[in-house]
A and B are shown apart, each in its own frame.
Chain A
């Protein structure tokens, strides 16, 4: 499902360029659930961005579902992202002033679906995430945990094959975190591939997690 080969990514910090990812190679098989751990600044978010095609690597290859996402024309990489990938962002990245429901259906808009289908999909995923009761609230009025769940509902709304989650439990208390983990388990049972970046210890002793990999200073250990 995911195949990275010798991926490097650097950023300009002042005058010098600093490597955020250095020669990363990684394979995640279809249906696998992989936890990516690492301290702050180790490059977890950067790695997920590259996989989702939100940023381009400086060198190396990033393949998702067999296609090299960084080389696809923009229109197709967007489509791949929209139809196959659900991204749960570390900072939620909800659109303020829109309601929870509006945020959740936003990824479906370019698909030009019928209203009833749209509603059904949004409802299902919001119920899954236990946020359906706040559907008509504006997201900037929601608590951090509620926003987190709206963000997760949005990632799941297109029934993706691959979930990329960046610190999904960072804003949830332990109960909610366990609920979310139960949800990841269900997704795993459905055969959905997951890559979860986190430093939450709750993730480190789960039966359904196939692998835990660690990243340090932009390199896998």
Chain B
């Protein structure tokens, strides 16, 4: 067909589309809107999944929390050293961290206290702190903040420092020593890193305690046994493994996906109404035209070919418009509205950028679900009309 392309036929098809402009334009709009919606949702889901996976990779293998009366409470740091004699444990790090609620913007910042002289317990922190002189940070009692934090503070007139309020009601003025950029956006955007001493002061914690303890093991297969040994020794401690977190993230995400599955079915429903309308018959005017074309010497092949061009142009056009506007909407505009629906699980977290991920198989799937189906729905009734006697159709 390509090497024997009849451009006059193509031209006729384009004119024919333009002749029924309002009807075709309406179908074009609906089709591109549907494709836009589905593509956007799938792109957002993909981006978030990507983001989650990269975050999960940086999580500690085992996190130990202490619970008293069902509430999480601080862990004595002495326990961290004691744990080292359990076989299979490579490293134990007590962490000092927490959330700081920033009222004017209604968001939580993650505040992490670090010890400049220690090795960092997570690869993210190592990466983040590599670019800054941590010892200087400790001496000056200042902090490094994520881009999201920086933005929110600046919006509230804190351009180079921030006044934390301690539980005792005192003000703690901390200058901003730097801002970090990271592609680990989901985790680092709302992050504030400062010296441990400052963190203790801001949270009003005793310096002999830690928020929790993270454990690194020699062999990931031993995680379950090591967790057993730890909880046997300290019955008031609860262990969360990387896998536990993955499962809970996945659950929330799947729940959201269920919501979008229903959106999906609404779209599919709308699409099939168009298809149904198309296959259920041609207007008498369209039928007459087919009859006339046959009568003046077009074969059914010519007619079907012409209809193929028409529907191909329309549906491929709608597809391309839908996909490209979805790309623009999701990655350039960062998916306003839809994104919020998806991001519900990361409550109160400052915004982060959706990472770009072009999923070719998704695009192909959407293509197959729209273009060929639309073409078939157009061709079948035209082919039927064109195989009748011209005399019948023209009457």
Contacts and interface: CB of A to CB of B under 8 A. Distances in A.
Nearest to B11: A109
B383 to A, nearest CB: 12
B6 A109 contact: yes
B164 to A, nearest CB: 73
Contacts of B288: 93
Interface in A87-113: 87, 89, 91, 93-98, 102, 105-110, 112-113
A203 to B, nearest CB: 23
A54 B389 contact: yes
Interface residues of B, number: 28
Given A82-B297, A95-B292, A74 B302 contact: no
Interface string A71-97: 000110011011101010101011111
Interface string B265-295: 0000000000000000000010011011111
Chain A interface extent, by class: 35 or more
Nearest to B392: A55
Contact of A55 (B15, B296, B302, B389): B389
A56 B389 contact: yes
B300 interface: yes
A106 B299 contact: no
Given A97-B19, A98-B15, A118-B8, A110 B299 contact: yes
A144 B295 CA distance: 20
Contacts of A54: 294-295, 389-391
B308 interface: no
A106 B303 CA distance: 12
A154 interface: yes
B293 A106 contact: yes
Secondary structure at chain B's binding surface: helix, strand, loop or mixed? Answer: helix
B264 interface: no
A89 B297 CA distance: 13
A49 B387 contact: no
B380 interface: no
Interface string B1-30: 000101011001001000100000000000
Contact of A109 (B4, B12, B292, B394): B12
A141 to B, nearest CB: 14
A64 interface: no
Most buried by A among B8, B298, B392: B8
A36 interface: no
B8 A81 contact: no
A106 B387 CA distance: 19
A194 interface: no
Nearest to B390: A54
B301 interface: yes
A109 B302 contact: yes
Contacts of A158: 297
Instruction: Report the 5 A-B pairs with minimum CB-CB distance, sorted nearest first.
Output: A82-B297, A78-B299, A55-B391, A81-B297, A54-B390
12 contacts: A54-B294, A74-B387, A75-B301, A81-B295, A81-B296, A82-B296, A82-B297, A82-B298, A95-B293, A106-B296, A109-B8, A109-B302
Given A55-B392, A95-B293, A158-B297, 11 more contacts: A55-B389, A55-B391, A78-B298, A78-B302, A81-B296, A81-B297, A105-B8, A107-B298, A109-B298, A110-B9, A112-B6
